[in-house]
């Protein structure tokens, strides 16, 4: 079994969680139901994934006490001005009284040109290309000022960020602001994007790192890397298991996404990698250079630097 990590709130976070990005409704429901049956107790979602309804339903239908499942959702860019209303809307879709962790999805507030003010909390049905960086006197420091207060409402047990760079974190950690320190920073991490410096910064500030796209996601060549395949065959496991366990061994939370029951199961098997193999996996990017799966254009822009 995998370890648990401790957030700066004292809450326990199961190291491996199920990612739900790009899982459509019925698949998302089945994936979450399967994962919970197999022993997962950490489910990672987001408003913009547009599947909070089936994700929440699967959690409620599981029969597992709510207190035993760690549930995360995220504030989308169009919702930065009114995070409490956005959280209310997420809770309503999930059918839950609270989430365990509420994350600012990106350090960028967006406006959607074709929506009226009152619609800012609505997640656009599809990405129509009309969203834009909000230039009208808003930035993620203001967003964090609002989000950090949400723990008091009881609607989330902890608050954190996602896709925050060291500079983004420094901006909200300025001592004179006296803001709550984020409990977590969820970022893209895999051997082709090891993020050592950012992880070290988070560790030094007691911010738990959560790794998304731990398998390099759909377009990556990572899963077929010959050196990775060699290590996997040595342990008689799949390459994905090696990648997940590499992340856990490095001390952070790992969020593999799958809607395939067999993969959901194999992704949840803990293995003990030797220090030499951990190092060999850390060195994989040296052959091909680093590779970011998530297009920085989606959310980070010049702020993510
Ligand atoms: P599927 O949902 O059909 O299993 P990441 O978490 O890095 O974003 O990767 C997710 C992608 O990797 C999805 O396309 C998912 O497809 C696939 N995937 C998940 N688990 C495994 C696995 N054990 N082996 C191979 N591919 C996997």
Q: Is 260 in the pocket of ligand 1 (CB under 6 A)?
A: yes
Average pLDDT over residues 40-64: 95
- Closest-CA residue, ligand 1 atom 9, reads 217
The pLDDT score that the predictor gives to residue 135 is 47
The pLDDT score that the predictor gives to residue 118 is 43
Q: Is 192 in the pocket of ligand 1 (CB under 6 A)?
A: no
Phi, psi angle pair for 3, to nearest 5° = -75, 175
pLDDT digits (tens, 9 = 90+) for 240-290: 999 999 999 999 999 999 999 999 999 999 999 999 999 999 999 888 677
Give the strand pairing for 101-104 and 70-75: parallel
| Helices 83-94/52-61 angle, 10° precision | 50
Q: Could you tell me the CA-to-CA distances from 17 to 20, 40, 158 in Å, in that order? A: 10, 7, 16
- Model confidence at 219, pLDDT cuts 50, 70, 90, reads low
> Would you list the domain boundaries of the chain?
4-303
Query: Which stretch of 78-87, 117-126, 200-209, 230-239 has the lowest confidence by average pLDDT?
Result: 117-126
Query: Which stretch of 73-77, 99-103, 141-145, 173-177 has the lowest confidence by average pLDDT?
Result: 73-77
The pLDDT score that the predictor gives to residue 294 is 66
- Closest-CA residue, ligand 1 atom 25, reads 240
The answer, yes or no, to whether residue 120 has pLDDT greater than 50, is no
The pLDDT score that the predictor gives to residue 199 is 97
Average pLDDT over residues 171-200: 96
Q: Pick the atom of ligand 1 nearest to 240's CA.
A: 23
Q: Which residues are the active-site residues? A: 49
The pLDDT score that the predictor gives to residue 80 is 87
- How far apart CA 303 and CA 305 sit, in angstroms, is 6
The pLDDT score that the predictor gives to residue 41 is 98
The answer, yes or no, to whether residue 302 has pLDDT greater than 90, is no
The pLDDT score that the predictor gives to residue 299 is 46
Q: Is 259 in the pocket of ligand 1 (CB under 6 A)?
A: yes
Q: Is 277 in the pocket of ligand 1 (CB under 6 A)?
A: no
Give the strand pairing for 18-19 and 208-212: unpaired
The pLDDT score that the predictor gives to residue 301 is 41
- How far apart CA 271 and CA 242 sit, in angstroms, is 8
Kindly give the distance from the C-alpha atom of residue 299 to the centroid of ligand 1, in angstroms, as a whole number. 22
User: What CATH class is the domain 4-303?
Assistant: alpha beta
Q: Looking at per-residue confidence, does 219 or 31 come out higher?
A: 31
Across the chain, what does the average pLDDT equal?
Answer: 88
Q: Looking at per-residue confidence, does 228 or 126 come out higher?
A: 228
The answer, yes or no, to whether residue 66 has pLDDT greater than 70, is yes
pLDDT digits (tens, 9 = 90+) for 14-46: 999 999 987 778 999 999 999 999 999 999 999
Query: Which stretch of 47-51, 88-92, 289-293 has the lowest confidence by average pLDDT?
Result: 289-293
The pLDDT score that the predictor gives to residue 136 is 62
The pLDDT score that the predictor gives to residue 139 is 86
Whether residue 140 contacts residue 108, with contact meaning beta carbons closer than 8 Å, is answered with yes
Average pLDDT over residues 148-161: 98
Q: Where are the beta strands (DSSP E) in the chain?
A: 4-6, 12-14, 18-19, 42-44, 70-75, 101-104, 110-112, 131-133, 159-162, 184-188, 208-212, 253-254
């Amino acid at each position: 079994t995998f370890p648990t990590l401790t957030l700066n709130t004292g809450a326990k976070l199961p190291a491996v969680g199920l990612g739900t990005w790009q899982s459509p409704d019925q698949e998302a429901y089945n994936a979450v139901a399967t994962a919970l049956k197999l022993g997962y107790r950490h489910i990672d979602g987001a408003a913009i994934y547009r599947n909070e309804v089936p994700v929440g339903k699967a959690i409620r239908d599981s029969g597992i006490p709510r207190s035993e499942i760690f549930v995360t959702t995220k504030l989308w860019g169009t919702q930065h001005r009114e995070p409490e209303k956005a959280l209310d809307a997420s809770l309503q879709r999930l059918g839950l009284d609270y989430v365990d962790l509420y994350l600012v999805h990106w350090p960028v507030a967006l406006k959607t040109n074709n929506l009226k003010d009152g619609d800012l909390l609505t997640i656009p049905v599809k990405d129509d290309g009309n969203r834009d960086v909000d230039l009208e006197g808003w930035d993620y420091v203001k967003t964090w000022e609002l989000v950090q207060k949400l723990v008091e409402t009881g609607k989330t047990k902890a608050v954190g960020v996602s896709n925050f760079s060291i500079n983004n974190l420094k901006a909200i950690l300025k001592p004179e602001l006296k803001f709550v320190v984020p409990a977590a920073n969820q970022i893209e991490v895999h051997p082709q994007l090891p993020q050592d410096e950012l992880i070290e910064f988070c560790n030094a500030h007691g911010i738990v790192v959560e790794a998304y796209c731990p398998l390099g996601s759909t377009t990556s060549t990572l899963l077929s890397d010959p050196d990775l395949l060699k290590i996997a065959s040595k342990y008689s496991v799949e390459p994905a298991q090696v990648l997940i366990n590499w992340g856990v061994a490095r001390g952070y939370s790992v969020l593999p996404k799958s809607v395939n029951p067999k993969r959901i199961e194999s992704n949840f098997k803990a293995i003990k990698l030797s220090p030499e193999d951990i190092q060999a996996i850390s060195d994989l990017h040296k052959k091909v250079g680093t590779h970011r799966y998530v297009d920085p254009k989606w959310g980070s822009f010049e702020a993510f630097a």
